[in-house]
Structure 1
Amino acid sequence: MLKVKKLLSTRIGLLSFLLVCLWMKSMIAYFSVFNLRGVGTAEFILMIINPIGFTAICFTILLFIRRTSLFYLSVFAVSVLLNFLLYLNILYYREFTDFVTIDTLTGGAGVFQHGFDFGSVPVHLFDFVYWIDIVVVIILLLLKKIKFDSEYMKFSEAFGYLSVSMAVFGINLWFAEFNKHQLISRRAQSDKTYVVRYLGLGPWMLTDSYYTHVIDSQRKEANKNTIYKIKNYIQNNRYLAPNTKMYGIAKNRNLIIIHLESFQQDLIDRNIKGTDGKMHVVTPFLNSIYHSQSTYAFSNFFNQVGQGKTADAENMMETSTFGLPAGAFFAKYGSSQTFQAMPAILKQQEGYSSAVFHGNVGSFYNRLNTYKQMGYENFFDQSFYDNSSANMSPWGIKDKLLFRDSVPMLEQLQQPFYVKYLTVTNHLIYTMANEDKDPSFATVNSGDALVNKYFETAHYLDQSVQQFYDYLKKSGLYNKSVIVLYGDHYGISGSDLKAFAPYIGSSAKKFDSYDNTMLQRTPLMIDVPGHNDGRIIDTYAGEIDVMPTLEHLLGISNKDYIQFGQDIFSSGRKNFVALRNGGFVTPTLTLTSSHGSYYNTQTGVKILKMDSSEKKYAESVKNQVATLLSNSDKLNNENLLRFYHPKGFTKVNPKNYNYTVTATEKRLAHTNNYLAAKSNSLFSRNNDKSTLSDYTNDIPEVQNGQDVPKIK
């Protein structure tokens, strides 16, 4: 005890003590509150060391202060500030499963607005641990058990300590960048969890501050007249009148979007020879939907995502605008962007309720804030599910459990509803527990573990969707809905393509940029129960086109909205699919990127020489693609929709939405009780009885008693 008192009575000893305590508290928060899961040894090591360097820099700067009173006052202030930063994130994460950003502190995303009730702040008894070191030091100083150290440190010695601290942080940053390339320039704009996991909360706040400043500066210079130029461009080049035969065929139906994570078109109708020597169908149920008479399926549907991957796909599906050239749109702009998105349009024009079901944390890709800006009434993220380890895949709740455990929430929604399911099990690195594998399905032995596992997780996803479909039919929702299934982006890329190529009819040796572009095909299936003119359509289309297509099927005009896609069923379509990299695909010509090579789309043969008419056509399409992407980027980068007010549309107020578990349960129950006999929820229509019993229990975690729906 005497040694501890003596240590704390020195300036460097006190700072060392506070540094160690803050590191320990960070570890408690990382693993027990934030649930940061490192993938591999490198990530685990980074999580262990990342609080040290930044905190040490903050403390060792104080060693340059000579005056005793100012030194101790500064130590107290910095220590309280760092601990407050940690604890504020703990409270905020418990409530919103998200990290604090500059926008949340200043009110842009709602931390001190409606939705953060200080009367219900989730303070735990254990929380005294996060402040005990400061309290102990203050008490010891007041009782004079430890003394003020009046001997200041020489400049050279203080500089030495600061240099070591900066070196530790520098090594941390280098190791993080080595493990995740472009961590700050790219990853920070796609998912804040990466920065917290690799560098810590302090560097995350600094990074977020920088990007917030860049965004604010860019948007202050925006010219509101630009929106009318883009509006004219849309009217003259993109808007198409609906196909009268298709317009309104799904009017007043529930709209259910099933997001097939990392699912390529090549998986549809794919048979593989397994390690047991037998042939196996990878996705038998999705194949049946693809060929169903009630399904409009598209064989030349391309993903158009950029670095934002899944979030880019969501953005195109929800807003019919492209993602950004760099970074993820949701993460970069989602907290403050003005949207005229699908959930708000359906709510205001047709009275739809809305929800997203997702097995990952709400902070991933900044969905918690972005969905509020879009007007989603409900967001059921990982906090609404049983997070026991047996129920988790590397990217969140397993798909079978996501669908099944969503039932108590889905049945509470007023019909018609617009819901989106974001699956996660079929996500890189395609890992699955043995108990979740189909014993009758054997994957390939390609020599590449990633490829082998990809077929397994895709098969699991297929089974998950089938179980959900069975529930929809048994509960009566199927015939009242239109179900859209789509793949967000490719599943296999890079060096793994050589091992994947032989199983999709390609050659590993001859695989080139054309083949890679063709692998950007993903499924799009629009299932309209009761219709029998479904068919496989070979029209070339992309994710940007889905929103206007669905609006017209639901009988909603999109003429007054700024949307860059075109109804796939309409006549007069621009006959090209724009890729985010500046390339394009037409029925005859493919450009792999803005600086890539041209290929014959049908034969895959590289075009080495064009005649004058071919050159003119190629340049024309390339210029149209560049103009399309440029207008979308300008709209989003400058947040131009804040200047545009289409008739009949009211700007979304994010303060109206609260996605916490408690608030959501109260809201859904209140709505059903308030409407009483007028309630259109499935729960009310089923005499206030749950339909969960309609869902199969043929799920390992359910059979083993490892899964209990959190919301009952």
Structure 2
Amino acid sequence: MKSIGGKIRGFFNTRLGFSVLAIALFWAKTYWAYNTKFNLGVKGQMQHLLLALNPLPTTILLFGLAFYLSGRKSYITMLIIDFLTSLWLFANVLYYREFSDFLTFALIKDSGSVSNNLSKGVLGILQPTDWLVFLDLVVLIVLLATHLIRIDLRPIKKRFALGVTIMALFMIGANLSMADSDRSGLLTRTFDNNYIVKYLGLNAYTVVDGVKTAQTSAEKANAKASDLDSVLAYVKNHQVSKNVSYYGKAKGKNVFIIHLESFQQFLIDYKWDGQEVTPNLNKIYHENNTLSFDNFFNQVGQGKTADAEMMLENSLFGLPEGSAMSTDGTSNTFQAAPAILDQQGYTTAAAHGDVPSFWNRDNTYKSWGYDYFFSKQYFPKVKDGEVGYGMKDKLFLKDAASYVEQLPQPFYAKLITVTNHYPYTLDKKNQTISKTDTGDKTVDGYVQTAHYLDQSIGEFMAWLQKSGLDKSSMVVFYGDHYGISDNHKKAMAKLTGIKDFNDYNNAMYQRVPFMIHMDGLQGGINHTYGGEIDFLPTLLHLLGVDTANNVMFGTDLLSAQHDQTVAFRNGDWVTPTITKVGSSYYSTGSGKELKNLSRSQKQVIDTATNKVTTELSLSDRVLNGDLLRFYTPSGFKKVDKTKYNYNLKKAQASLKKAQQAGTSALAKNGGKSYDADYVTDAPELANNGSGSSSSSSASSSSASK
């Protein structure tokens, strides 16, 4: 027995033995992470086998690099490689917990535009067991430091090192071959990143993502005008007829786009502890002059809010990796809603209570043609006035109103709320509904921040009535993306009363509100299936703006010819009859998984899959190649980005000059601000009396003198 123990220890005292131990420990912790930290949807013996095997090839390849070095350098190199790959695994564990996806190079490149307040978010999702991904590294260091394992200084032949590399490459090839036999076209078709990690492993996924990123950069450099031909042909062939009952019904009206952060459709009419979570939005949703869509889906990818904005303003999908606003917003050519409406005589403005660089908005909005961008620097500082990703909604909407009243009419104004944002924290003085009791910290604060958002909407809508803007405006509400990811199925099961909350249910809960509210509008609840990609053509047709010559991948939701196939960014889709999630198909009505497909069902699947794959591919081609630089629609003037400057003083001077036109709400009121009519119960403003912010009043008066 003692002899066997000595031989085992003697083996680990060799360079090869230490490497085998390091690889085994790294494999064990990676396989553990795959099964406990990610939701990869592994089904069948082949997928389980691949999940168990796929950490080995790349681990052997990377750790094997240490064999090319001698002595202590070899050990140090192996530990460094172990640390870096463990750190990458750790980062993906945290990111996946909240976003149900893996990090990409594009996203890392974008991190400068989204890093504000992320530390708070990380602390909110960090779990003690996450640190176990570094346990193997600690074990190896302790073994070496205590001399339980000694460093082997003997040289290793280069051909041995080369043999290890060749073996690893052969294993990678075998892994890929096995994966392709179970999932053909894994690397060539549009799949969820979960598929690549499930079949090939996290390290291989990183390489695949790096290659895609490099290809995208090359694609833009090599793009040419003829690349747009197939896009224009597709768009032309998918034109839909106008709905004469709605086309032009909002012509000349002001447009408010109210961004409901992380707001899911299930919150409408939802009660917790006997209390309506969103009573103001519930009322608007059911009013006769509100057109409400109950089958409207978010279609975002990694860019989340940025993807939603890209679709709403351009009818282009977000990218499969990262955020197009960050990667392409500064340099690409766009034909976005602000530019289109600006050329129809509208004043265009966006407001967001955070730093202007968030999601690269300060540059992207110039490319989109926004006249004004009211960011954090425009608003007065209030003690305890921020939470999470910017100003609290009640303060933000009140202060934004002081700029709205100065905009020459008609105007297009997008107001982006942020309080109902992960990690859903709100100070006690603003809590007016109890937390849910699912036991999931991420989920339980959701109703509190949603309720606060709803209260802020109620205050803003009351101000619109007092200012008279409600009679001359169309107010559009939309939820940008999910608030609760599919990593919280147990909590969602308890919230929704769905006992076994599965992937189908999660797909259905990607519904978000889309409400169009306008005095005199023929409203009601519309059951048409659609998504954020359809927002822009629907909006423009209501305003009487023809979209026949524009490159848009959505269609008017009010058209009888609207195709009700809703594409998700990962290639899944929903139709009124069938829903695709991963490799499974479900009846959209019943939620029952479809096993033995009929001929008609197969036809629906083939048609929907072809449409979704084509649309996502063509949209990516437009963004990655910056193809709109080669095409200007008839009647549209290309945006000159140099015309726009979002400096506070310059904006105030511009607004002051604009009052001379006499069309703003402020000018029509004889230069008297409506600020005093804005009533909020925000406790942060209690010392100012009746919720009126003197700082906001000052900004209004300074621009109207």
Question: Could you tell me the TM-score, scaled by structure 1's length?
Answer: 0.70
Q: Map 1:577-656 onto structure 2 (within 5 A).
A: 577-593=566-582, 596-656=583-643
Deviation at 1:443, TM superposition (A): 3.3
Corresponding position of 1:528: 518
Going from structure 1 to structure 2, the CA distance change for 1:389 and 1:216 (only over 3 Å counts) comes to: farther
Q: 1:426, 1:454 within 8 Å by CA — same for their partners in 2? A: yes
Alignment counterpart, residue 311 of structure 1, candidates 306, 312, 332? 306
Matched, 1:247 2:242: no
Corresponding position of 2:674: 691
Q: Report the residue type matching 2:644 in the other structure.
A: Y
Corresponding position of 2:425: 431
Deviation at 1:183, TM superposition (A): 5.6
Deviation at 1:463, TM superposition (A): 0.4
Deviation at 1:502, TM superposition (A): 2.4
Alignment counterpart, residue 501 of structure 2, candidates 511, 523, 526? 511
- Structure 2 CA distance for aligned equivalents of residues 179 and 241 of structure 1: 46
Q: 1:187, 1:195 within 8 Å by CA — same for their partners in 2? A: no
- Structure 2 CA distance for aligned equivalents of residues 454 and 178 of structure 1: 22
Deviations 1:13-60 (A, max 9, x none): xxxxxxxxxxxxxxxxxxxxxxxxxxxxxxxxxxxxxxxxxxxxxxxx
Q: Report the residue type matching 1:378 in the other structure.
A: Y
Q: 2:474, 2:516 within 8 Å by CA — same for their partners in 1? A: yes
Q: Report the residue type matching 1:515 in the other structure.
A: N
- Structure 2 CA distance for aligned equivalents of residues 527 and 698 of structure 1: 24
Q: 1:386, 1:708 within 8 Å by CA — same for their partners in 2? A: no
Q: Map 1:200-279 onto structure 2 (within 5 A).
A: 216-237=217-238, 239-273=239-273, 279=274
SS in 2 for 1:396: coil
Deviation at 1:613, TM superposition (A): 2.7
- Structure 2 CA distance for aligned equivalents of residues 433 and 668 of structure 1: 35
Corresponding position of 1:486: 478
Q: Report the residue type matching 1:218 in the other structure.
A: E
The alignment-based identity, stated in percent, is 42
Q: Report the residue type matching 2:253 in the other structure.
A: R
- Structure 2 CA distance for aligned equivalents of residues 250 and 634 of structure 1: 33
Deviations 1:527-565 (A, max 9, x none): 01123x310011101111110011010011011101111
- Structure 2 CA distance for aligned equivalents of residues 335 and 290 of structure 1: 36
Going from structure 1 to structure 2, the CA distance change for 1:422 and 1:197 (only over 3 Å counts) comes to: closer
- Structure 1 CA distance for aligned equivalents of residues 564 and 451 of structure 2: 34
Corresponding position of 1:289: 284
SS in 1 for 2:413: strand
Q: Report the residue type matching 2:111 in the other structure.
A: D
Alignment counterpart, residue 343 of structure 1, candidates 312, 332, 338? 338
Going from structure 1 to structure 2, the CA distance change for 1:603 and 1:169 (only over 3 Å counts) comes to: closer
- Structure 1 CA distance for aligned equivalents of residues 359 and 516 of structure 2: 26
Deviation at 1:235, TM superposition (A): 1.0
Gaps of 5+ in 1: 1-158, 200-208, 274-278
Q: 1:259, 1:485 within 8 Å by CA — same for their partners in 2? A: yes
Q: 1:549, 1:566 within 8 Å by CA — same for their partners in 2? A: yes
Q: Map 1:171-570 onto structure 2 (within 5 A).
A: 180=95, 185-193=105-113, 216-237=217-238, 239-273=239-273, 279-348=274-343, 350-438=344-432, 441-507=433-499, 510-531=500-521, 533-570=522-559
SS in 1 for 2:294: strand
Going from structure 1 to structure 2, the CA distance change for 1:246 and 1:682 (only over 3 Å counts) comes to: same
Larger mean CA deviation between 213-222 and 284-293 belongs to 213-222
Deviations 1:658-694 (A, max 9, x none): 111111111111222xxx2x32111111111111011
Structure 1 residue ranges (4+ consecutive) displaced by more than 4 angstroms after TM superposition: 166-184, 193-199, 209-216, 705-708
Going from structure 1 to structure 2, the CA distance change for 1:356 and 1:457 (only over 3 Å counts) comes to: same
Corresponding position of 1:671: 658
- Structure 1 CA distance for aligned equivalents of residues 465 and 114 of structure 2: 40
- Structure 2 CA distance for aligned equivalents of residues 479 and 527 of structure 1: 11
Deviation at 1:197, TM superposition (A): 8.9
CA-atom RMSD in angstroms: 2.9
Q: 2:383, 2:684 within 8 Å by CA — same for their partners in 1? A: no
Q: 1:176, 1:198 within 8 Å by CA — same for their partners in 2? A: no
- Structure 2 CA distance for aligned equivalents of residues 621 and 210 of structure 1: 29
Q: Map 1:696-711 onto structure 2 (within 5 A).
A: 696-705=679-688, 709=695, 711=699
Q: Report the residue type matching 1:563 in the other structure.
A: M
Question: Could you tell me the TM-score, scaled by structure 2's length?
Answer: 0.71
Deviation at 1:575, TM superposition (A): 2.6
Q: Report the residue type matching 1:484 in the other structure.
A: V
Deviation at 1:172, TM superposition (A): 12
Q: 1:189, 1:328 within 8 Å by CA — same for their partners in 2? A: no
Deviation at 1:325, TM superposition (A): 0.9
Q: 1:282, 1:458 within 8 Å by CA — same for their partners in 2? A: yes
Q: 1:183, 1:195 within 8 Å by CA — same for their partners in 2? A: no
Deviation at 1:335, TM superposition (A): 0.7
Aligned residues: 527
Q: Report the residue type matching 2:228 in the other structure.
A: I
Q: 1:359, 1:397 within 8 Å by CA — same for their partners in 2? A: yes
- Structure 2 CA distance for aligned equivalents of residues 630 and 183 of structure 1: 21
Q: Map 1:48-87 onto structure 2 (within 5 A).
A: none
Q: 1:308, 1:327 within 8 Å by CA — same for their partners in 2? A: yes
- Structure 2 CA distance for aligned equivalents of residues 549 and 196 of structure 1: 34
SS in 1 for 2:619: helix
Q: 1:387, 1:397 within 8 Å by CA — same for their partners in 2? A: no
SS in 1 for 2:533: helix
- Structure 1 CA distance for aligned equivalents of residues 259 and 321 of structure 2: 23
SS in 2 for 1:546: helix
Q: 1:352, 1:417 within 8 Å by CA — same for their partners in 2? A: yes
Going from structure 1 to structure 2, the CA distance change for 1:426 and 1:197 (only over 3 Å counts) comes to: closer
- Structure 2 CA distance for aligned equivalents of residues 528 and 398 of structure 1: 26
Going from structure 1 to structure 2, the CA distance change for 1:561 and 1:708 (only over 3 Å counts) comes to: same
Q: 2:489, 2:502 within 8 Å by CA — same for their partners in 1? A: no
Corresponding position of 1:155: none
Corresponding position of 1:70: none
SS in 2 for 1:629: helix
Going from structure 1 to structure 2, the CA distance change for 1:421 and 1:480 (only over 3 Å counts) comes to: same
- Structure 2 CA distance for aligned equivalents of residues 235 and 395 of structure 1: 40
Deviations 1:407-444 (A, max 9, x none): 22111111000000110000000000111112xx3332
Q: 1:222, 1:640 within 8 Å by CA — same for their partners in 2? A: yes
Going from structure 1 to structure 2, the CA distance change for 1:215 and 1:608 (only over 3 Å counts) comes to: closer
Q: 1:487, 1:524 within 8 Å by CA — same for their partners in 2? A: yes
- Structure 2 CA distance for aligned equivalents of residues 196 and 396 of structure 1: 9
Q: Report the residue type matching 2:277 in the other structure.
A: V
Larger mean CA deviation between 179-188 and 450-459 belongs to 179-188
Q: Map 1:140-179 onto structure 2 (within 5 A).
A: none
- Structure 1 CA distance for aligned equivalents of residues 116 and 281 of structure 2: 38
Q: Report the residue type matching 2:636 in the other structure.
A: F
- Structure 1 CA distance for aligned equivalents of residues 118 and 311 of structure 2: 30
Q: Report the residue type matching 1:235 in the other structure.
A: K
- Structure 2 CA distance for aligned equivalents of residues 500 and 708 of structure 1: 43
